[in-house]
Structure 1
Amino acid sequence: MYVLVGLMLAVVGGTVIDKLNMNDQVQDYIRDMEEEDIFSEELTFKQRIDFGIEQVKEVAGKVWPYILIGVAIGAGIHNWVPQSYIQSALGNNNVISVFLATLIGIPIYADIFGVLPIAEALFSKGVPIGTLVAFMMAVTTLSLPSLVMLSKVVKPKLLGIFILICLIGILSIGISFNWFLI
């Protein structure tokens, strides 16, 4: 279900952004790049490896501080916030649990595999499935380092619309899951 609703959100969100005609909201240097310029010459295998390594170094050099901040915040939440507090904040009796789970997920930087053990522990403590899905989607979609990287290729207006669409979608999915699966 997680994959299915994630794909549905991506399709709906992409369609909305397409209908809003946001092509001018891509950073100029991306639009100015010509695909031919990057790969106009035939590269040897070693040149391709060297090119890839340089690209990784460039991206990692720009985002590593944000990744460290996200991981530190995530570790702080995971290690220092008592599970009983999280369960009371995110449990069945809390009307705003999906919203809180989404907010908690945003500063954490992890892929879905890093989030699954946390979600499993929270589920075993009684956190509803919709709240967990919202948390996992927020971590993988709206993490601070991901948004910083995205801000390098899109302008603020498009980034804001992306964030708004994702927030509305994540909250709607989480609330729907809680409503229909409780």
Structure 2
Amino acid sequence: MVDVFYPMQWIADKVTYDLLGIEATTGLAKSLNFIIYDVLKIFALLSVMIFLIAYMRSYITPEKSRRILGGKKGPIYNVAASLVGTVTPFCSCSSVPIFIGFIEAGVPLGVTFSFLITSPLVNEAAIAVLWATLGFKATALYVVSGIIIGVVGGYIIGLLKLERYVADFVYNVHSLPFKEAEMGSRQRLDYAVEEVKSIVGKVWLYVIIGVTLGGIFHGFAPEGILAQYAGKDNLLAVPAAVLIGVPLYSNVMGLIPVVESLIGKGLPIGTSLAFLMSVTAVSLPEMIILKKVLSNELIALFVSIVAVAVIFTGYMFNAVL
């Protein structure tokens, strides 16, 4: 499979190791490489997603789009969004551009949250690696739990009708500069480019701040703290693992070796997987990026729903594995 993000990793490697000459094994190198790569990747995803949606919108007016997508409510659509999330190999921050694009296109808020929750939790590569390291039973439980958390979390948010807590600029789709029937290819392209400039111009600083914090955590967060406060003799080990995991930031693939190491040190599988889920599904950098799009109330509700679901899942894993 072709890695479409390889050029961004190449740039990150060149800047970190060749241009700046930082030793690859240091925390500084890991942080800086992570920051450069993720900033480039997120901006690319955000630009492409907004461009494509805006270009399609030049053929399908906002009113038509809302009529087509706005009525797609109910658990079946939350399930569909979660399943789409399982085949998109994005980390929590990288899922945000897709999340913004879905809302802008008129997809209901709860359905969009199902995607946002599941996408960083489950993907085919993570399934393969989990299977190889933890076995089929743990992998199957992890995948099913990730999808269920996405479905239930998104459905609850949809029931609460919280659209008023989304920034106006996401819903206030810009009017077409020309009548739809009169627009040529160049005008449609210009319109899409202007939409990219508008949206990216509103969120770029939050992306950089969020990813920078995530990079610092990635390079310097001490692994021993989890084993210390979430050991097997602690009845509150699962909530402790989730609380430790939420501020951190990494993708599921990067964390699987850490989780394997923690299990090898005696941490229960459920506690270790709860930590994995909390880091990948909700992270402080993701919240910072979402802050430009969602209100504090909606972000707090999102984090709370996912955290409670992950804690419950962790205890369930410990009981059955």
User: If the length of structure 2 is used for normalisation, what is the TM-score?
Assistant: 0.47
State the shift of 1:145 in Å: 0.9
Aligned partner of 1:97 in structure 2 is: 237
Q: Which amino acid aligns with 2:286?
A: S
Name structure 2 gaps, 5 residues minimum: 1-140
Structure 2 residue corresponding to 1:18, chosen from 158, 161, 171: 158
Match of 2:287 in 1: 147
* Overall identity of the aligned pairs, in %: 30
Give the CA deviation at 1:173.
Answer: 0.7
The answer to whether the Cα contact below 8 Å between 2:210 and 2:289 also exists between their aligned partners in 1 is no
The alignment status of 1:65 with 2:204, answered yes or no, reads no
CA apart distance, 1:124? 1.1
Instruction: Report the Cα offset of residue 73 of structure 1.
Output: 2.7
**Contact 2:270–2:315 (CA under 8 A) maintained in structure 1:** yes
State the shift of 1:126 in Å: 1.2
The equivalent position to 1:77 in structure 2, one of 217, 221, 242, is 221
Q: CA deviation at 1:57?
A: 8.4
Q: Secondary structure at the match of 1:113?
A: helix
Equivalent residue, structure 1, for 2:131: none
- 1:168 equivalent in alignment to 2:308: yes
> In the alignment, what sits opposite 2:167?
27
In structure 2, relative to structure 1, the CA distance for the partners of 1:116 and 1:60 (3 Å cut) is farther
Residue identity in the other structure for 1:137: M
Asked if 1:113 is matched to 2:253, the reply is yes
In structure 2, relative to structure 1, the CA distance for the partners of 1:26 and 1:52 (3 Å cut) is closer
Structure 1 or 2, whichever has the larger Rg, is 2
Q: Distance in 2 between matches of 1:35 and 1:177?
A: 50
Question: What code does the residue aligned with 2:320 have?
Answer: F
Give a deviation string over 1:62-110, Cα, whole Å, max 9, x none.
32233222222343333xx5x4x64343222111111111111112111
Q: Find the residue that maps to 1:69 and give its secondary structure.
A: helix
Per-residue deviation, 1:127: 1.0
Q: 1:53 to 1:34 in 2, by over 3 A?
A: closer
State the one-letter code of the partner of 2:239: F
Q: What amino acid does structure 2 have at the position aligned with 1:168?
A: V
- The unaligned stretches of length 5 or more in structure 1 are none
What residue number does 2:275 align with?
Answer: 135
Deviation at residue 58 of structure 1 after TM alignment: 7.1
Instruction: Evaluate the alpha carbon distance shift between residue 57 and residue 20 of structure 1 in structure 2; reply closer, same or farther with a 3 A threshold.
Output: closer
- Superposition RMSD in Å: 2.9
Relative distance call for 1:109 and 1:52 in structure 2 (3 A) is farther
Distance 2:148 2:236 in 1: 23
Amino acid at match of 1:114: G
| CA contact 2:227–2:262 (8 Å) conserved in 1 | yes
Normalising by the residue count of structure 1, what TM-score does the alignment of the two structures yield?
A: 0.79
1:8-29 deviations in Å (ceiling 9; x for gaps): 0110011111111112221111
Post-superposition offset of 1:56 = 6.9
Q: Distance in 1 between matches of 2:144 and 2:259?
A: 18
Q: Does the CA contact (< 8 Å) of 1:88 and 1:94 recur in 2? A: no
- Cα distance in structure 2, aligned partners of 1:36 and 1:7: 37
Q: Whole-Å Cα distance in 2 between the matches of residues 32 and 92 of structure 1?
A: 50
**Deviation at 1:60?**
5.0
Larger RCO of the pair (alpha carbons < 8 Å, separation 6+): 1
Report whether the alignment pairs 1:123 with 2:243: no
